[in-house]
Structure 1
């Protein structure tokens, strides 16, 4: 009959706003304060968000099932589990935590909490160009002033080439992650940092990677899909530590790039004022 599915649908719809309200509160300043103490809470929040997304999909499927049933007629037989009980909702997968699992990026446009990118034009104005001739391939940095501040070394779990202040800041980020969540720290990998080239599709525009002020990270070497509005669970946790140190997360870009972390304009201006660049 259509009555039971309709009742289930109605109850689920009533519960969903309450669950979503609780999740929004948990992510607010009152419900979530500081990356250094709430790593475990953030994991639970991300898992709950994924369950809500799954519930929305299942509600849509149930609406379709109800609509296909004839009024007053018999419904299709329900499937049964191994114990012979009817299974209405499939169990949500992912009982074991996996930092590499893909989750939805909540409130994506506000993840950087007011931090702004410096941008290629601003970087060129303040630092000069890393080299004059550019193409779509990574090339060495030739600007002597910038090259003198370029460092290549092991920073936490990864080896990178970046400008000295960015290296120092990155060390702080990784040490904070290691002290709070050593399991996550051990699974951090990189897809690169310094890469002097023009932004693909442009004639002469520079990315922050060209200045050694950006780094791409992932979990377990698994690259994140570009512009899909989702990311790896571990990156959502890492992002809070970067934000504390004045780095911008690419998840908030118009073209979402959640592996990407770069120095904000505010942090760049601070380093310039302190004579570090």
Structure 2
């Protein structure tokens, strides 16, 4: 009696790669320059992508169980045996536009969300600009590097107020303008957890992060902070990531220790600004 479930699972496992690559292909290369789209439709697209990721995770667990199938062995896992938490999102929240952006979901294809964008690491930042100040500590301080300080501004940018380098502010404004035009419902829910903080990277005694250079911002939906390192995030942040990537910003969701509230200017973009004399 175990042969039929085993065959079904084997077919599902074989189909998983097809679904995994076909679904993202159907929705890639979206043009953010067009008119505003229906927010409900965009949420459905993102949720479909999340469901593909959830399906992949479930199939991996099923494959493990399938390998254990023996006469009189362990039982097969069926869909009915999985609770709502297995899908990677909070099922207690109504599936409506007003709540969907704040739903916590798995981050689909997390390691590849930044495509070909490069991270501006501490060594690159130090060699290009010097340290943001000579006497860095573990506490946030003011910026004293003359080259950077002259470009540091405090401005209202879209829905949030940030202190960042001027080129980063201008680029961030472009991101928010695209979001507001394309998805005004999401735009209205954007909040920040901070931008400039001139200090060492936590755990380091020599390196400063992009936050210390005024080149990064932490965002969230409705002021709810994301749990660091759990591989999940608010659905709204996964949508924001598309806009930031299009403008040349890196999303912290791809890091070994996932930080999905974090968005920073890529090395690619910084090299453009330096070449143009903006920094």
Q: What corresponds to 1:18 in structure 2?
A: 15
Kindly report the root-mean-square deviation, in angstroms, between the aligned alpha carbons of the 2 structures: 3.1
Q: Which runs of 5+ in 1 are unaligned?
A: 76-86
* Deviation, structure 1 residue 207: 0.3
Q: Does 1:49 align with 2:52?
A: yes
Q: What corresponds to 2:95 in structure 1?
A: 96
Matches within 5 A, 1:25-64: 25-28=22-25, 31-34=27-30, 36=32, 39-40=42-43, 42-49=45-52, 51-52=54-55, 55-56=58-59, 59=62
Structure 2 distance, partners of 1:56, 1:112, is 25
In structure 2, relative to structure 1, the CA distance for the partners of 1:143 and 1:95 (3 Å cut) is same
Q: What corresponds to 1:80 in structure 2?
A: none
* Deviation, structure 1 residue 46: 3.1
Structure 1 distance, partners of 2:82, 2:134, is 60
Q: What corresponds to 2:216 in structure 1?
A: 214
Structure 2 distance, partners of 1:178, 1:170, is 12
Match of 1:167 among 166, 169, 185: 169
What does the per-residue CA deviation read over 1:125-165, in whole Å, with 9 as the maximum and x for residues that have no partner?
22222111111111111122211211111111111100000
Structure 1 distance, partners of 2:180, 2:238, is 15
Structure 2 distance, partners of 1:207, 1:133, is 15
The DSSP-based 3-state class of the residue aligned with 1:196 is coil
Preserved CA contact (<8 Å) 1:134 1:198: yes
Q: What corresponds to 1:201 in structure 2?
A: 203
Aligned pair count reads 259
Q: What corresponds to 1:235 in structure 2?
A: 237
Matches within 5 A, 1:147-166: 147-166=149-168
Structure 2 distance, partners of 1:89, 1:254, is 28
Which of 1 and 2 has greater Rg?
Answer: 1
In structure 2, relative to structure 1, the CA distance for the partners of 1:62 and 1:253 (3 Å cut) is closer
TM-score, structure 1 as length reference: 0.80
TM-score, structure 2 as length reference: 0.80
